[in-house]
């Protein structure tokens, strides 16, 4: 499991500001269609979804925090290996805590924990096919469709969210 209550094994490329992508996997990288194509006991991601995520990462330098239910079955190291094997070209920093009322609450708890350690978040983006976010989190959300996953049509909005916040402030 990635964490019991909260993963703490965060390694950051730089002690300065960081841009983050809170990443769901199913419905963002893996669609019902690609779920049928197996790599061992794991589904394959949609190539266009991986490409779209890599385009966002290349444009922004963002790193990943896993919000997906995959964190319940896989360790942080296993998730890092899976995403690297899929061709995701950025660091996977951490996973959000589990057991809170919603994924949105788990993201807020992770952000609070990160900021309590006096680490600055320059900006963040939430990629998810579900919408159990509230308040200010909605301004950070690019909602995908489960059947399509992350598409090229969503790249510009995702980059805009990360860059727009970087020009201002990133608040939860």
Segment 26-33 shows an average pLDDT of: 96
User: Whole-prediction pTM value?
Assistant: 0.89
Domains of the chain: 21-167 (3.40.50)
Whether residue 1 is predicted with pLDDT greater than 70 in this model: the reply is: no
* Residue 63 parent element (H or E): strand 63-66
Say which residues have a Cβ less than 8 Å from residue 104's Cβ, sequence separation at least 6. 132, 133, 134, 137
Question: What DSSP string runs through 92-146?
Answer: EEEE--SSSSSHHHHHHHHHHHHHHTT--EEEEEEEESS----GGGGGGEEEPBT
What confidence score (pLDDT) does residue 12 get? 44
Can you tell me whether residue 40 is helix, strand or coil? Answer: coil
Q: How confident is the model over 46-67, as pLDDT tens digits?
A: 999 999 999 999 999 999 999 9
Most confident of 34-38, 53-57, 111-115: 53-57
Pairing label, strands 63-66, 141-143: unpaired
């Amino acid at each position: 499991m990635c964490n019991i209550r909260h993963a703490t094994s965060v390694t950051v490329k730089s002690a300065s500001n960081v841009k983050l992508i809170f990443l769901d996997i199913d419905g963002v990288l893996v669609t019902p269609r690609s779920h049928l194509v197996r790599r061992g006991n794991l589904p394959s991601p949609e190539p266009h979804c991986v490409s779209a995520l890599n385009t966002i990462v290349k444009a922004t330098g963002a790193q990943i925090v896993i919000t997906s239910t995959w964190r319940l079955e896989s360790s942080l190291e296993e998730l890092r290996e899976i995403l690297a094997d899929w061709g995701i070209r950025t660091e996977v920093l951490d996973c959000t805590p589990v057991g809170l009322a919603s994924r949105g609450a788990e993201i807020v708890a992770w952000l609070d924990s990160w900021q309590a350690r006096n680490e600055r978040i320059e900006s963040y983006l939430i990629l998810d096919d579900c919408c159990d976010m509230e308040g200010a989190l909605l301004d950070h959300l690019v909602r995908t469709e489960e059947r399509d996953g992350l598409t090229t049509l969503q790249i510009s909005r995702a980059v805009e969210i990360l860059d727009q916040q970087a020009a201002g402030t990133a608040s939860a």
